[in-house]
Structure 1
C-alpha cells in the first residue's frame, strides 16, 4: 500500500504554516536573557533590593507653560533641548504659544511657523493647548482651526485620560467684542505703559481673568468622562483658571462629574507658580517657559513639570530650567548666558 500523500493544494496551504511553526518553536526553545545579571553569590549583596522601578504601566510626560506674553528670546529653544535630554514619552502645554495680535497683522503665519519649527525639534510628540494669545477672537480661532484643527479635544494614553480645554470659548459674537477690547488694551499698553493698561477695559475684563467655555464644549467633556469611567488618572490642561470665576459656570459641572475619580489640573496664564488643593485634588498654575515674568503674586520662574504615572498614582517633579544641565555641566543650547527667574 502506498503511503498517503497530501494533495498539492494542501501542501501549498500548509507550507507557510509549517514555516511559522518552526520559527515559533525556535524562539520558544531559546532562553530569554534576564534584564539584570550579576555574578555574586550568597545572601549579602551590595544593594538593597532587586525590585526595579520598571513597571510596564509606568510612563512620564512633561508639562510646560507660557512662552509668550512678552516672550524672552531663546528660552524656549533651551527648554526643548532640555526636554530632549530628559526623554519624556510626550509633552503637553497650557497655552500662550505665540504672541498673536490684531487681525490686520501679517505676522500670524511667521509666529506659528516659528513656534512649530522649535516644537518640532522635540524628540517626543507635543500636544497643544490654546491660550488667550493663541485664540482670542474669531480670526485667531480660524487660524488655529486651519493649522491645528480642534481647539478642545481629549486623548487616552495607557488608560490615562487627558482633557485639553479651550478657555477662550466665548461664542462668535462675544469673541468679536473681546477681540476689539483686547486690541484697544494692547494699544494702550504699547503707547502709555503698564499703569495705563492696568486701568483699561481689557485688563479688567472678567473673561480675561478666568476665561469661559461654551455649552457644546462642556457637553463634549461630560460625554468623554461618561464614556471613560475607569481610567487610572485624569489630567485637565487649560490655559486660564476657570474655577476662579465667582459665579459657578460650566466648568463647575465638569468638576462635579470628576468627583469620585483621581485627577490633576494644570493651567497657565498668570505667569506665576501657584499650586493649590481644590476638591482634594492638585490644581497647579505653572509660571513660564519663556514668557514675560511677573513675581508680584508669587514665584515667577522658567520651569516645567515632570509627571510620572503608574497604577499606584502620580508623582510630579518641578524642574527649574536653570538647573537642568547637560553632561558637561552646562545648560544646553547656550543657556548659560540667560536668566531664568525674575528675583
Structure 2
C-alpha cells in the first residue's frame, strides 16, 4: 500500500471519528417534554471552511473603500482572502510601482488571515511590472490546496514579449483618446478592439502547467479558478486545454476586470464576474457596486457563495467600520448625492 493510500485511510478514519462533533459539543440542560429546538444535526462538518474574495481596486480607486472592506472582513473572519486582480493602477516607473505595491501591502498587513495575490492587467501588463511582481511576489500563476480543495490562480496577461510591448503602446494611445474623446472613441482604437483587452491571453506553457496540476490533483473535492479577465471568452486560446481538463470535475470560476457583477453558467459550472471593492464604477455595464464575496465549502462538493454589499456590513454598534457611513458604495447611490 502506498504512503498516499495510508494517509488517505487515516484521514478518512479521523473524519468519521469527528462526524458527530457538533452533537457532542451541544450540551443542553434537562428538558421534559417537547424540545425548544428543531434537531441536533449541527452544521459543523470538519471539512467546512470559508474564504473571502475582493475585486478590482483600480479604474479610479475611491478613497477609504478598500480600507473599510478590510475592516469589515476582520469582523467576518474568513480563513483567507483572495482577489481577482487589478490591485494597483500600474503604468509608472519602478519607483512609482513600488510605492503603489507598498500602499497595497500596508493596507492588508494587519489582516489576521492570509491574503493571496492574483494579478490583473494593471498589475502585470508591461515587462517592468512583471519583473517587479517576480521580485516581490514570485510566480504570477500558481496553485495550492486547502483542505482537499484545489485553487488555481491564472495569469490573464501571459503573451509574448513582442505582443506585450505592442499592446502597452496601444493601451497608452487608447488612454489618451479616452481622455480627449471619451470612452466610446477609445473602444474603436486597436487596443479597444484587441482580443487581449477583453479576454486576456494564456500561453501554452501556462496551459501545460495547469493541465498537469489538474492531473496531479484529480482527487480534489472541488476546484476554484481565479483569473482577472474572462479567458474562457476567447475564440481561440490555450485555455481551452485547461477547460477541457476541468470539465470532468466540479469547479467554480471567478474573474474581475469589468467592474460589473455578472453570473453565468458554462458547461454547467458557475462562472462569476465580480464588480469592485473600491474601483471605478461602470453602471452602464450592469451591477456596479462595492462588495466582497464569501465562499463556504462544505463536505464533499457543497459550495455556498454569498455576495455582501459593503453598505450592509456593520459592526456591533450598527455603524459601518472605518467611518464608512460617510462613504458611497454603489454607482446609483453616488449619482444621487
- TM-score of the two chains, using structure 2 as the length reference: 0.88
Tell me how far 1:114 sits from its aligned partner: 0.4
In the other structure, the counterpart of 1:298 is 286
Indicate if the aligned counterparts of 1:58 and 1:309 stay in contact, CA closer than 8 A: yes
In the other structure, the counterpart of 1:321 is 310
What is the alpha-carbon distance in structure 2 between the residues aligned to residue 201 and residue 258 of structure 1? 33
Computing the radius of gyration from Cα coordinates, the structure with the larger value is: 1
Indicate if the aligned counterparts of 1:95 and 1:129 stay in contact, CA closer than 8 A: yes
In the other structure, the counterpart of 2:249 is 261
What is the alpha-carbon distance in structure 1 between the residues aligned to residue 74 and residue 168 of structure 2? 36
1:283 corresponds to 2:274: no
In the other structure, the counterpart of 2:19 is none
In the other structure, the counterpart of 1:165 is 154
In the other structure, the counterpart of 2:82 is 92
In the other structure, the counterpart of 2:124 is 135
Tell me how far 1:34 sits from its aligned partner: 5.0
Per-residue CA distance 1:111-163 (angstroms, 9 max, x = gap): 10000000212221111110000011111101111111100000000000000
In the other structure, the counterpart of 1:109 is 98
In the other structure, the counterpart of 2:65 is 75
- TM-score of the two chains, using structure 1 as the length reference: 0.87
Indicate if the aligned counterparts of 1:138 and 1:175 stay in contact, CA closer than 8 A: yes
Tell me how far 1:42 sits from its aligned partner: 3.1
Unaligned runs of 5+ in 2: 1-22, 333-337
In the other structure, the counterpart of 1:330 is 319
What is the alpha-carbon distance in structure 2 between the residues aligned to residue 284 and residue 309 of structure 1? 16
1:42 corresponds to 2:32: yes
Indicate if the aligned counterparts of 1:80 and 1:121 stay in contact, CA closer than 8 A: no
In the other structure, the counterpart of 1:206 is 195
In the other structure, the counterpart of 1:15 is none
| Structural mapping, 1:138-217, within 5 Å | 138-217=127-206
Indicate if the aligned counterparts of 1:68 and 1:96 stay in contact, CA closer than 8 A: yes
Tell me how far 1:189 sits from its aligned partner: 3.0
Tell me how far 1:188 sits from its aligned partner: 3.0
Tell me how far 1:90 sits from its aligned partner: 0.3
Matched residue SS, 1:296: helix
| Structural mapping, 1:17-56, within 5 Å | 34-56=24-46
Per-residue CA distance 1:25-63 (angstroms, 9 max, x = gap): xxxxxxxx9522221233521111111111110000001
Tell me how far 1:260 sits from its aligned partner: 1.8
Indicate if the aligned counterparts of 1:101 and 1:183 stay in contact, CA closer than 8 A: no
Matched length: 309
Tell me how far 1:250 sits from its aligned partner: 1.0
Indicate if the aligned counterparts of 1:64 and 1:289 stay in contact, CA closer than 8 A: yes
What is the alpha-carbon distance in structure 1 between the residues aligned to residue 101 and residue 74 of structure 2? 21
In the other structure, the counterpart of 2:4 is none
What is the alpha-carbon distance in structure 2 between the residues aligned to residue 308 and residue 90 of structure 1? 11
Tell me how far 1:191 sits from its aligned partner: 4.6
Indicate if the aligned counterparts of 1:169 and 1:212 stay in contact, CA closer than 8 A: yes
